[in-house]
Amino acid sequence: MAAKWIESITGSLEQKKQYKQDKARIDGLPEPYATAAKAMHRYFLYYGGITDGDTLTRMFTDLADLWERAALDGTPVRDIVGDDPVEFTETFAQAYGGTHWIDKERARLTKAMDDAKREDG
């Protein structure tokens, strides 16, 4: 009972546990993969704006998988991200649908314009 109450306020405890595990996997990568994975992780937190916990958890798990595989194979970082790491990182994030924080603001803006139109007559 208490766990449901806590999760209703803080979000899924299982998702938090998975996130921490994935973060530890990223932190444990050898260089230069750890630096690349941490940079992408940080960028996701600013760029992604994903508010759905399941989607966010899946994305971070896949990020850890990507860089662990690259490290095992010895694949150079630039062979993964190409010439434009921003484009690669944004494309990676866009592959995960989910709900973004901006979706709420888009709906709010549309509603405000619809309300204004009704008031115009």
Longest pairwise C-alpha distance within the chain:
65
**What is the reported pLDDT for 97?**
75
Q: Which domains does the chain have, with CATH numbers?
A: 2-120 (1.10.1900.10)
For 49-87, write each residue's pLDDT tens digit: 777 788 889 999 999 999 999 999 999 999 999 999 999
Total residue count of the chain as it appears in this document: 121
Structure tokens at 17: 């546990």
Q: What is the pTM of this model?
A: 0.76
Handedness of CA 72, 76, 81, 86 (dihedral sign): positive
Using the predicted structure, report yes or no on whether residue 32 has a pLDDT greater than 90.
yes
Residues 6+ apart with CB under 8 A from 111: none
